[in-house]
Amino acid sequence: MAERELRDKVVNERVLSEHPAYDAVELTIRAPDGDERTKPAIRHRGAVIIVPLLEQPGRAPRVVLVKNDRVIVGEALLECPAGGIDEGESPAEAAERELTEESGYRAVSLYPIGQFYTSPGMSDEVMHAFVAVGLMHVGQALQPNESMTVHRFAAGELLEKIDSGELIDGKSMLAILMAIRRGYLQS
């Protein structure tokens, strides 16, 4: 697909609020006819998501997910471990850290499987997806504001959970499907 130049141009950006992981900004956008409008946006420092594969001798691996309390939507959601990239951290370093913090597992190997924009209508956040293998249990190291429980599922169970609407976290659904498409999991 050929890229096309954007018609509208950002001509000004004003920071409304700063946070260690992102800034809330107001963009001034100019259309080709000269009309200007403002739009709120989030400038994000990037994030990672990990599909952790718990190998079992003679059986298909299980995927380690967390049930994460998401107060913004008022639900506890099944999710792959994920989180922001800290300043000075590479995506792989962030993936290693987030995997251990949230799931309680450390990986022998991490494999990048792609990246994607999480919500390009309102944020420039790029999420880097990884598969983690060779898991060793070391115990969760949750941050004080996090509340998560660890769960393990076969790939087929996860697809059923997606189909039934039990797994509705978009980033997790996409990362799991990417892992299947790249041959790390069998559906």
For the domain that residue 52 is a member of, what is the CATH number? 3.90.79.10
Average pLDDT, the chain: 93
Helix axes 155-164, 170-181, angle to 10 degrees: 140
Confidence of residue 34 (pLDDT cuts 50, 70, 90): very high
| Nearest by Cα to 106 from 117, 115, 98 | 98
Pick 22 or 143 by higher pLDDT.
22
Tell whether 2 is covered by a domain.
no
In-domain check, residue 1:
no
Whether residues 60 and 131 fall in one domain: yes
Question: Are residues 78 and 15 part of one domain?
Answer: no
User: If you average pLDDT over residues 86-107, what whole number do you get?
Assistant: 96
Is 28 in the same domain as 104?
no
Average pLDDT over residues 82-88: 94
**pLDDT exceeds cutoff 80 at 62:** yes
Q: What is the rounded end-to-end Cα distance, in angstroms, of the chain?
A: 29
- Residue 181 CA to residue 113 CA, distance in Å, equals 10
- How far is Cα of residue 158 from the mean position of the Cα atoms in its chain? 17
Alpha helices in the chain (DSSP H): 91-103, 155-164, 170-181
Same domain, 23 and 82: no
CB 107 within 8 A of CB 96: yes
Rounded to an integer, the average pLDDT of 11-35 is: 94
Asked if residue 148 and residue 61 are part of one domain, the reply reads yes
Residues 144 and 103 in one domain: yes
Q: Is residue 150 part of a domain?
A: yes
Number of domains the chain contains = 2
Same domain, 32 and 110: no
Domain match, 51 and 79 both: yes
Indicate the pTM of the whole model.
0.91
**Is the pLDDT at 96 greater than 80, yes or no?**
yes
Can you give the pLDDT at residue 1? 46
26, 49: one domain:
no
What pLDDT was estimated at residue 133?
Answer: 97
Please check the confidence at residue 46 and state whether its pLDDT lies above 60. yes
Q: Are residues 114 and 131 in the same domain?
A: yes
Mean pLDDT of 43-70: 94
Instruction: Work out the pLDDT band at 186, boundaries 50, 70, 90.
Output: confident
Same domain for 114 and 38, yes or no, is no
Tokens of 28: 């001034």
According to the model, what pLDDT value does residue 2 have? Answer: 58
Q: Rounded to whole angstroms, how far apart are CA atoms 161 and 167?
A: 5
Which residues constitute the domain of residue 163?
45-181
> Is residue 85 located within the same domain as residue 127?
yes
Q: How far apart, in whole angstroms, are the C-alpha atoms of residue 15 and residue 18?
A: 7
